[in-house]
Amino acid sequence: MDGAGSFGAGRAGSAFDLIAFIKQPQTILRVLAWIFSMVVFASIINEGYVNMGSERLHCVFNKNADACNYGIAIGIVAFLACVFFLALDVYFPQISSVKNRKRAVLLEMVFSGFWTFLWFVGFCFLASQWSHTSPKELPLEQASDAARAAIAFSFFSILSWAGLTVCTAQRFLLGTDMTLFTTEHIAGLPPKQPYPSNDVIGHTTIPVNAYQSPPLIETVETRPPGYKIPPAF
């Protein structure tokens, strides 16, 4: 199916343009989201726990283990999701099925919106628990930098995933425009002109004035025998 409602399926199988792919806002935002999520869960895992002179470790966020577990969970899932959707974006031009293309864009849009909400909840949760953390109860000098980094990059993750939601929503709503799924649109080049339409299957319609016969030129060879040029008056 090649037409307005095909989500660009008519151009499936085109050559992959790495430069155009890297320049896409969606790709840039996804890489940033991947880095931000890694910073969040890595900070909490490596330095988000402190001990109080015993073998038991306490979460730096007001000794609330749920805060640390939440930050680690959404960070790891977001990290894996970025890798998955990045691979899907690379493979997307090869998908020829219109339904599969629509499902891929819809899945990406719903997941991005949902994870934006989870990052917002995580940012509020971590910031609230950190504000209630007392330096008298925990040796914060051991993990204060990690806690602040987790909170800051949770906020940055909200922005990156919100941007991905906007990109995918626009991609879904305007999915009937084939040029939105081509490298010509991404690079700012004019889209390629389509082939002439077919009125009958297998027969291409050609305008009447597309081909014209050359003008009739009278020559000596075309004159009949005995023909005389009439005198001019």
pTM of the predicted model as reported, rounded to 2 decimal places: 0.70
**How many angstroms separate the CA atoms of 65 and 47, rounded?**
14
- What's the pLDDT at 215? 53
Answer yes or no: are the C-beta atoms of 79 and 38 closer than 8 Å: yes
User: What is the spatial distance between Cα 50 and Cα 55, in angstroms, rounded to a whole number?
Assistant: 10
Are the C-beta atoms of 43 and 146 separated by less than 8 Å? yes
Q: CB–CB of 181/93 below 8 Å? A: yes
Residue range 108-153, pLDDT digits in tens? 999 999 999 999 999 999 999 999 988 777 766 768 889 999 999 9
For residue 50, what pLDDT band results from cuts at 50, 70 and 90?
confident
Could you tell me the two tokens for 2?
A: 């090649």
**Cβ–Cβ < 8 Å for 78, 115:** yes
Report domain extents, the chain: 19-176
Displacement of CA 179 from its chain's centroid (Å): 14
Q: What percent of the chain has pLDDT over 70?
A: 67
Q: For 144-195, how does the pLDDT look when each residue is reduced to its tens digit (9 = 90+)?
A: 889 999 999 999 999 999 999 999 999 888 875 544 445 444 445 555 554 5
Write the pLDDT tens digit of every residue in 194-223.
Answer: 455 454 455 555 554 554 555 555 555 555
In the chain, which residue ranges form alpha helices assigned H by DSSP? 18-23, 25-47, 65-91, 98-131, 144-173, 183-186
